[in-house]
Chains A and B, each alone.
Chain A
Amino acid sequence: MLPNLKAQSKWGWLIAGYLFLAGLGGGAYVTGAVAGLLDTPEWATIAKIGVSLGFPCVAVGCLFLLADLGSFKNFWRAAMRPNSSWIARGTIIITLFMIIGAIHIALGVCTDRLAEDAGLRHIISALGIIFGLGTMIYTGILLAAARPIAFWSTAMLPLLFLVSALSTGIMAVVALASLVETAHVESIHYLARIDMAIIVLEMFVLGFYLQGSHRVPESRASARLVLAGTLAPMFWLGVALLGLVVPLSLDLVGVFSLSGGAAVSITLVASICGIIGGLLLRLVILSAGIHAPLKVGRFEIALPIV
């Protein structure tokens, strides 16, 4: 008889906010850096917007993380064990990303140094893209390394977080670009079209991820919690509807049947919905983390023990 399994309660809003902002910052930066490498006037504003989001979003995410620490005076020690701990590895990755991101903003957005020096721009962008991808991926690997939590401990989770981070990053760039006058409207539409493909990919990945959680009783309990339990409203309305279906539909309408200002407004609304959905996705997954029960012979004890 399976005991009453409860989800973990130690990692909540603050950690979800950190994972979300780190992903969005990484995704927005990668979008901007790639646009910058295309080196055409149509993509110039989008490149600047993307790069400008990178360092600040990740930095604010880190503030969320520091707020969650029980003893934050030791926060600088977080990088001490990269040989075994994914938090340590991640600390190094996002610190390097923030440094590169800040340098890129200083040289590429605040001044025009990088517009003149293509070689330097290529080096900084390449490094930034590598560490931006690392930032997006490691947030998923971090959770996947918690082995007793079967709902998290799967290779699908880093993939889901990567796709979601890329999607929210692009949507953040699209949202800001549609508010800025100098942005090239065709480029915004192009980005929106790319994002539609990524949203469809994210739907498939999310579906595979949830399907794959049928492995063990505790991951099934997590999936039940998400799909039909207390987290179901947040998942179906916040993640599935607001985060995936609504942005996809609005983008379809905006890109294929409207044009000009109306299309841009629609993609702005779509992006805001998708960004909120990305945050809620992280929160749902964190709130559904259930530990494997202790198996003592034929008896089972649910964790955490209260």
Chain B
Amino acid sequence: MPRYGFAIDLKRCYGCYSCQVACKAANHTPQGVDWARCVPAETGSFPAALRQMVPLVCQQCAEPECLKVCPTGATTQDENGIVHVDKDLCMGCKYCIMACPYGARQTVEEWKAYFPDAGGDLDPYEKHAKSAWEKKNGYGIASKCDYCTDRVKDGRQPACVESCPAKARTFGDLDDPESEISILIRRERGFQLNPEFGTDPSCYYLPPR
């Protein structure tokens, strides 16, 4: 069974936000929910200041904190290592949001219109997005990235991976030592975020220099 993972190359990301927009378009997420995103980070001070764009996604941990704390069993992990939320079981206690060290779990109370100044109803594209969102998720409950499971089943790549013009995101099977992602992680010495929480994320970052 393939264990899916990400390798995110910090050398390549230049902060175009294509991944954030592509994820939103593919998964019809409302305002306030971004499963894939790009976040600016800074360190140091002039004249030795550094800036780095950090692409983020759910880390699909091998030992997920969110799964541990979920009281209803709405949070489950499939055989590929991807953590799913069942919208019919989630009661919206928000414990997973407290427990996730990566901010991957998100919740919204309602669909806020993207273009409120346009007046009147939502436009047809936003109406379609809203109903697509309500079919697979909802309001007041937790939602998260699922590595575009549906697209992957069809043999495609996750939306954020496919859309990245710099090929900063790589998706593949961590259990296959010959896969592109495994080779990248070994060769570039990929690291995990906040390993002190013992979550063993399946998302690896390739160092920027």
CA distance A143 to B112 in the complex (A): 31
Q: Which residues of A contact B172 (CB under 8 A)?
A: none
Which residue among B10, B95, B109 has the maximum number of chain A CB atoms within 10 Å of its CB?
B95
30-78 of chain B: CB within 8 A of chain A? 37, 39, 41-45, 50, 52, 54, 56, 65, 67-74
Q: Which residues of B contact A304 (CB under 8 A)?
A: 103
Q: For this complex, into which size category does the number of interface residues on chain B fall?
A: 35 or more
Contact of A1 among B42, B95, B138, B207 (CB under 8 A): B42
Contact of A148 among B41, B92, B99 (CB under 8 A): B99
B140 at the interface (CB under 8 A from A): yes
A74-B74, A146-B98 given; name 5 further pairs at CB < 8 Å: A68-B93, A69-B93, A85-B71, A297-B207, A299-B54
B97 at the interface (CB under 8 A from A): yes
Q: Which residues of A contact B44 (CB under 8 A)?
A: 1
Q: How many A-B residue pairs have CB under 8 A?
A: 146
A88 at the interface (CB under 8 A from B): yes
B100 at the interface (CB under 8 A from A): yes
A26–chain B nearest beta-carbon distance, Å = 20
Q: Which residues of A contact B43 (CB under 8 A)?
A: 1, 298-300
Q: Which A-chain residue is minimally distant from B208 (CB atoms)?
A: A297
Q: Which B-chain residue is minimally distant from A84 (CB atoms)?
A: B68
Q: Which residues of A contact B98 (CB under 8 A)?
A: 8, 10-11, 146, 148-149, 289
Closest 3 CB pairs of A and B: A70-B92, A70-B140, A77-B72
271-306 of chain A: CB within 8 A of chain B? 289, 291-292, 294-301, 303-305
Q: Are B52 and A74 in contact (CB under 8 A)?
A: no
Q: Are B72 and A299 in contact (CB under 8 A)?
A: no
Q: Are B71 and A295 in contact (CB under 8 A)?
A: no
Q: Which residues of A contact B95 (CB under 8 A)?
A: 85, 87, 146
Q: Which residues of B contact A87 (CB under 8 A)?
A: 69, 71, 93, 95
A79–chain B nearest beta-carbon distance, Å = 7
A113 at the interface (CB under 8 A from B): no
Q: Which residues of A contact B193 (CB under 8 A)?
A: 294-296
Q: Which residues of A contact B140 (CB under 8 A)?
A: 69-71
Q: Are B91 and A78 in contact (CB under 8 A)?
A: yes
CA distance A180 to B170 in the complex (A): 71
Q: Which residues of B contact A147 (CB under 8 A)?
A: 65, 99, 101, 197
Contact of B71 among A73, A78, A298 (CB under 8 A): A78
B89 at the interface (CB under 8 A from A): yes
Q: Are B54 and A301 in contact (CB under 8 A)?
A: yes
Q: Are B103 and A77 in contact (CB under 8 A)?
A: no
Q: Which residues of A contact B197 (CB under 8 A)?
A: 147-148, 292
CA distance A199 to B85 in the complex (A): 44
Q: Which residues of B contact A298 (CB under 8 A)?
A: 43, 50
CA distance A146 to B98 in the complex (A): 6
B67–chain A nearest beta-carbon distance, Å = 8
Q: Which residues of B contact A154 (CB under 8 A)?
A: none
User: Would A292 and B194 be within 8 Å (CB), given that A147-B65, A303-B103 are in contact?
Assistant: yes
Q: Which A-chain residue is minimally distant from B90 (CB atoms)?
A: A71
B94 at the interface (CB under 8 A from A): yes
User: Would A77 and B205 be within 8 Å (CB), given that A72-B92, A147-B99, A149-B98 are in contact?
Assistant: no
Q: Which residues of B contact A168 (CB under 8 A)?
A: none
Q: Which residues of B contact A78 (CB under 8 A)?
A: 71-72, 91, 93
A9–chain B nearest beta-carbon distance, Å = 10
Which residue among B50, B65, B99, B141 has the maximum number of chain A CB atoms within 10 Å of its CB?
B99
Which residue among B52, B95, B98, B102 has the maximum number of chain A CB atoms within 10 Å of its CB?
B98
184-202 of chain B: CB within 8 A of chain A? 191, 193-194, 197
A96–chain B nearest beta-carbon distance, Å = 16
Q: Which B-chain residue is minimally distant from A71 (CB atoms)?
A: B92
